[in-house]
Structure formats: structure tokens, C-alpha cells
Structure 1
Amino acid sequence: MTTDELLAVLRLQGAPKIGDVTIKKLIAHCGNAQAVFEEKRNNLLKIDGIGTQALKGLYDGEHQEAAEQEYEYIKKNHIGFSYFMDADYPGYLKHCIDSPVLLYKRGNINLDNRKLISLVGTRKITSYGTAFCEKFIEDIAPLNPIIVSGFAYGVDITAQKAAVKHGLQTIGCLAHGLNQMYPKVHEKYVQDVEKNGGFFTEFRSTSNPDRENFLKRNRIIAGMSEVTVVIESAEKGGSLVTADIANSYNRDVFAVPGRAQDKYSSGCNNLIKQQKAHMLTSAADLVYLLGWDIAEKETKTIQKQLFVELEPTEQSIYDYLQKNGKQLLDSVALECKLPVFKVSSTLLNMEMKGVIRPLPGKLYEAI
């Protein structure tokens, strides 16, 4: 992208009353960002959805000056960027109508691997959520996915630290400019993240981590990934907004179930109950439902790690299902010489552990 074109894009972004959808319409009509400012105002008003309010302030010299200042910051600090029409722009995000026209970036981001997973959840992660998050990333690591999150407290930083630990690329989507880091306490993780991925943001160096920015940031997290996983969430929270956005983009959403009385499982349980998310009890669930290719050796690695804590009754049922394939509950009870009520409750426990999965027709199979 030429300097003049980048300046024109920055100028469009800085104009009030114009969002990403409108900017894309203007660029599509005129051919490029520079041409927007060369086109006659009356011709721009003929574009569907473009009114006088949208164009108000477009030609204000103040925005030109702000664009020049941001360009100097980008140049001075060697800030990278991805334009929505360029090949290096996140592929999944490109298909979202409201995706950012321009993303600023830092680090060593490589999006050639298309298995992108967003992990989100409460900032007040529990020991249960931490253990599940770390185990999930350990188990999914053989697939070498890219782990995307928001670099915030709780689930975000837990996921990104686990990704670094297992040598996975991880991307933090920020709600502010790249001239700062929020929360400040996470600055100690920046270097590791940049070595193993990096950061994306749509916000300029003059932007602070304001509340509304986090909501805008959530659409990037949901949009750039193939699948969004909610680890833990209270009944209301930003991660549920991210899940809703992912659903609106027709992306798969998974949620980790928890006990009904646990505050930070209620949001996930509701997503599952309302059929807004698949239940996630293990990495194998996600691999199976998405149909991701995985080598036999890697499958065994994931499975081996899943059934090390089975009780004797669970082990007996698992061995039977593994040997005989899909089976009805009554058949399991009969062959394992257990009462039906005992098998029913045991199967539920095993499903929560992620070693078996229920199928249509009241069938069960070992993972």
C-alpha cells in the first residue's frame, strides 16, 4: 500500500459517522481510499446507505492532520498493518461485513495455519476453569492450532500462557492502541506472545482501553477464528457477547459445562441449554464435531491423556464401548452386568470427563 493510500484509509477511519461497513462501500464504489476524497459529494450520496450525516466531517482538515500523526507513529515504531483487501488479512475475518478496514499488528503472526480457535471467558477464572483450559490446550496441541484471545485477566491470559508453553502460536486482540498494554501487569507476557504470534488491534495509538472498545474488540476475536470456545462465564459477561457474535457469523461455538450452582458455569450452561453452543468436555469433542483431520498417532495422544483417571466401573464400560463400538444404554448395562440406573449415571460422568460421547438414538461410543 502506498503512503497516500494509507493516509486516505486513516483519514476515512478518523471521520465521525463513518464505520467500517460504510468505508467499505465508499472504497468499493470509488476503487480505492484516495479516490473517495476525489469523488464528487453528490456522487457519493448516490451510494446505497450513504447519507449526508455519513459524509458530514469527511473533508474536515482535522482528520487529515490526525491521519498524518498516526502514520508517523506507525512509521517510527515499525508497526505492521493488514488492510482488508490484502492477502495477509485474516481470512475468516475478511468474510465478516463489519470487520475492521485496517488492523494494526505486532509480533510474528503467521496465519497460514487455518485452524484458529478463540478461547474466551470470565476474568475471574476458577481452578476448574484453569485446569480445563490448560488441559484443553495440551490435548489440542498436536493439531498445532492458533490460539486467539483478548490478553485480559482470567481465561484470556490462561489460554495464551498455555499456548506459549506448548509452542503454539497465539494472538492477542487488544481494545486499545499498540502504544500501551492493558492490563499493565500483563506486560511481562508480551515478549513471549510476540515470539509465538503477536497482537492485533483496530485502535490507533491515541485510543485508550475504554469500555466500548472491548465490545468492538470481541467481534475480531469471534470473526478471525473458525471456532469460539467459552471456558467459564457468569450469567452475563463479555464472553457471551463474543459467543453471540460468533453465532451471527455462522461459526461454531463450544461451551464447557459446569455444576448448576457454580456462578461461573451458569453462562456456559445456558449457552448449551439454549443450543447456542456445543457442549465441550474435551479437546476430542471439538476435533470430532469440526471434522478436523488428525493423524492416528495424534488421536492416540489425545485419547491416552483423557482416560487416566477412570474408576473401575467407568473403565469396564469404556473397554466395552471401545471394543464393540456404538451401543445402547441397555446393551451396556446387560453386557457389563450393571443396573441401568448405575450405567446411566456413570455414562454421564464419563461424558463430563470427555471419554465417551452420546449419539442420536440413545447410543454411546468411546472417544
Structure 2
Amino acid sequence: MPSLYEIALTLVPGVGAVTARTLLENVGDAESIFKSSFAELTAIPGVGPKTAESIRSKDCLAQAEKELAFVEKFKIKTLFYTSEEYPWRLRNCYDAPILLYYKGNAELNGSRVISVVGTRSATAYGRELTEKLIDDLASYDVLVISGLAYGIDGIAHKACLKHQIPTVGVVGHGLDRIYPAQHRSLAEKMLACGGILTEFPSGTKPDRENFPKRNRIVAGLADATIIVEAAKNGGALITAELANSYDRDVFAFPGRVNDQFSSGCNHLVKTNRANLITEAKDIAYLMGWETKDAGKLKPQLELSLNLAPEEEKIVAVLKNQDALSIDEIFSLTQISPGKLAMHLLSLEMAGVLTALPGKRYKTVG
């Protein structure tokens, strides 16, 4: 059940995400904030007299009552910063919204969440890349986040619906409308296999300044952000920069050097702000993922692959082990470091081994 006070906290003039968190840390909960005295509020670091007066006036409570009626009428979930349902990845971001409005059924705290973004003016190249990427991601049990915009965003959402991959659109307005209007039908279909999410209350228009705020949610919700096709001055690059600031992985597809719609992706790779990828397998490799069918595939791989004698030796020492470091594998196999690194990479790319943090390896399955 959404709280009137939680909604009201987001409507107080001058209280953004950072100040709201400071208030919660010092007072405890949203209701207690509104019941605090002027002196108690101004004693909190970062809360001045003007903000304290705005809270004490309780003018926002009347507005919150209307919003509460709206979310109850249309069965919209409110995810407050301190609730268990609030996306934990986003909570770890310093500027995470205090409250989210969500309509849908996708699990926002799933084990694998990625964001796919790009230019609104997608070329045939960008469309093909996006559709192939989503098709290949179907075996990795992921949730796909995007911004429901024209171009790459819309293509990604549609491809997810086609392949029955849950997908969530983050919008820069209230849930009383859909922007762009042409994506209303798409948004309705996404409610059955994903959802629509925003930090903005009903009545909020899709104003220009809302989209950078929207982009931080797109980046913050995910383990990694994938830039498919983007110009240097596009919103996708803002999302990439935000993902980097949150210490999340960023991946980008390269394009021709003279293509303006790929100039942003090429720039991200050139300046080490993104890892270059050419297919979904690159993401899985860099993220250390196994497919849903990895365990089933293992016996087939072992039967069908013609392993070199040294590769067979590596697999033999790793069998029935949780994981071994590269130094431990060297000690047990006595294969020279150069050859060992080459064999480990070859076995990993073949799907026989999985790389773990700390240069540790284990067999798949």
C-alpha cells in the first residue's frame, strides 16, 4: 500500500533525491519527517529554513492525496527507496530517485539486467544490430531496460516482445500518458511482459529536462549499458557517462569511422569509456554469464570438441573442483604460462570453461 507521506516527500519544493535521503537517514521514515519540528529539521545537515518551512507547511500533502488516488485507481505500484522491492542496483547510485512509479510484472531485481540504448535516428545497420543482439540474448535470461524512445529504444523493446524477453521502458513523464504517442500500443504490450517505470508523478509532461533524469535510471537499473548506435551529442552518450559514473560496465558496437550515427560509439571505445563488442557472446564473456542451457550443453561439448592434449590436461585438473586460480592450474599442469593463458582463453571461448573474478576458472555446468 503506497504511503501518502512517501509520495509527499517527493513533492516538497527544493527536496531532491540527495536531500530526501539525508532526511530519511536522520529522521527514520517519511511520516516522521512531516511530523518533525522546524528546529529538528533545520538541525539536519543540508536542510535550510526554506526547506524546513516547505515541509512544515504540508502543502504537498494535498497534492500527494490526488496522486495516491491516481495510483490506486490505475493499480500502479510505488517503490519507495527503503522498500525491499526497490531495485537494489539503482539504490546503490548516489542520486537514485526516492520513489518510483511502476506498472508491469517484470522482476526489477533479477539476476541479469542490461540497458540497451542508442540513437533515435536508427539506420538499417543499427536496426539489424539491435534485433540480432536481442535475439541472441534470449538464452541468457535477462531483463532489458530502455527508454521507450524512437529508434534503437523502440526497436529493442519490440524485439524483446518478439522473443518473449521481459523489457521495461523508463519514461520521462507521468504514467497518465505515453510519449511518444505512437508507442502507446507498444507500451501496452510491454505491460504483459515487462513494464513501464518513472520517477515522475501524473501530470508531468515529457519536457526536455526530464530525459537526462530518465537516463540515470536507465543506467542505474542495469549491470551493464549497451550502446548500439549513437552520435557524439546523443542522449545515449549521457546514459553511457552515467553508467560509468556508477561503476557499471558499458559496451558499444563499433561503426564506420565516417558514419555520424556511430561516431558516439567509436568515441566511447577510443576513449576507453566502453568495451568494444560485436555480438551478445562478447557481453556474456565479459560479464561471466552462462546461458540457461549451459549445463545441458556441457556433455555435448565434451563429446564434440577435439581438445589438444594440453587442453585435456587443463580440463582434467579442473573437473570436480569449485574453481582454481591460474597459478594453481599452472602448478598442477606445468604448462608454460604463455601456452596456459592461450589454452584457457580457447577453452573459455569454446564454452568448456568459465572465467571468474581473480583469474579463477571452473568447468561449465
1:190 is displaced (CA, Å) by 2.0
- Identical positions, percent: 39
- Contact residue 37 and residue 56 of structure 2 kept, 8 A: no
- Contact residue 255 and residue 271 of structure 1 kept, 8 A: yes
From 268, 271, 275, give the equivalent of 2:272: 275
**What SS class does the counterpart of residue 250 from structure 1 fall into?**
coil
Post-superposition Cα deviations, 1:291-310, rounded to whole Å, max 9, x if no partner, equal 1123447889xx9xxxxxxx
Whether 1:71 and 2:71 are equivalent positions in the alignment is no
Q: Which residue of 2 aligns with 1:27?
A: 24
Whether 1:120 and 2:117 are equivalent positions in the alignment is yes
- The 5 A counterparts of 1:213-252 are 213-252=210-249
Give the whole-Å Cα distance in 2 for the aligned partners of 1:53 and 1:276: 40
Give the whole-Å Cα distance in 1 for the aligned partners of 2:146 and 2:276: 20
From 279, 284, 289, give the equivalent of 2:286: 289
- Contact residue 8 and residue 61 of structure 2 kept, 8 A: yes
Which stretch shows the higher mean deviation, 51-60 or 27-36?
Answer: 51-60
The amino acid that maps onto 1:276 is: R
- Contact residue 38 and residue 56 of structure 2 kept, 8 A: no
Give the whole-Å Cα distance in 2 for the aligned partners of 1:210 and 1:69: 22
**What SS class does the counterpart of residue 27 from structure 1 fall into?**
helix
**What SS class does the counterpart of residue 45 from structure 2 fall into?**
coil
Give the whole-Å Cα distance in 2 for the aligned partners of 1:203 and 1:324: 58
Q: Which residue of 2 aligns with 1:253?
A: 250
Give the whole-Å Cα distance in 1 for the aligned partners of 2:116 and 2:297: 22
Distance 1:323 1:122, change over 3 A: farther
- Contact residue 118 and residue 149 of structure 1 kept, 8 A: yes
1:69 is displaced (CA, Å) by 1.1
Post-superposition Cα deviations, 1:138-166, rounded to whole Å, max 9, x if no partner, equal 11110110010001100101001111111
Give the whole-Å Cα distance in 2 for the aligned partners of 1:216 and 1:298: 42
Q: Which residue of 2 aligns with 1:39?
A: 36
Give the whole-Å Cα distance in 1 for the aligned partners of 2:153 and 2:40: 46
Distance 1:238 1:324, change over 3 A: farther
The amino acid that maps onto 1:249 is: Y
1:111 is displaced (CA, Å) by 3.0
The amino acid that maps onto 1:30 is: V
1:364 is displaced (CA, Å) by 8.7
1:324 is displaced (CA, Å) by 6.9
Q: Which residue of 1 aligns with 2:156?
A: 159
Whether 1:81 and 2:78 are equivalent positions in the alignment is yes
Q: Which residue of 2 aligns with 1:16?
A: 13
Post-superposition Cα deviations, 1:255-284, rounded to whole Å, max 9, x if no partner, equal 110000001100000000000000011111
**What SS class does the counterpart of residue 128 from structure 1 fall into?**
helix
- Contact residue 88 and residue 109 of structure 2 kept, 8 A: no
- The 5 A counterparts of 1:108-187 are 108-187=105-184
Distance 1:136 1:191, change over 3 A: same
Post-superposition Cα deviations, 1:173-197, rounded to whole Å, max 9, x if no partner, equal 0111111000000112122211101
Give the whole-Å Cα distance in 1 for the aligned partners of 2:345 and 2:294: 21
- Report how many residues are paired: 311
Distance 1:8 1:112, change over 3 A: closer
1:229 is displaced (CA, Å) by 0.4
Runs of 4+ in structure 1 over 4 Å off: 297-300, 322-325, 363-367
Q: Which residue of 2 aligns with 1:350?
A: none
Give the whole-Å Cα distance in 2 for the aligned partners of 1:164 and 1:197: 9
Which stretch shows the higher mean deviation, 44-53 or 78-87?
Answer: 44-53
Post-superposition Cα deviations, 1:214-254, rounded to whole Å, max 9, x if no partner, equal 11011100001000001111111111011111001000000
Give the whole-Å Cα distance in 2 for the aligned partners of 1:364 and 1:130: 31
1:120 is displaced (CA, Å) by 0.5
Give the whole-Å Cα distance in 2 for the aligned partners of 1:252 and 1:84: 23
Give the whole-Å Cα distance in 2 for the aligned partners of 1:252 and 1:20: 24
TM-score (norm 2): 0.80
Post-superposition Cα deviations, 1:34-56, rounded to whole Å, max 9, x if no partner, equal 11121122222222222234334
Give the whole-Å Cα distance in 2 for the aligned partners of 1:52 and 1:89: 31
Distance 1:39 1:240, change over 3 A: same
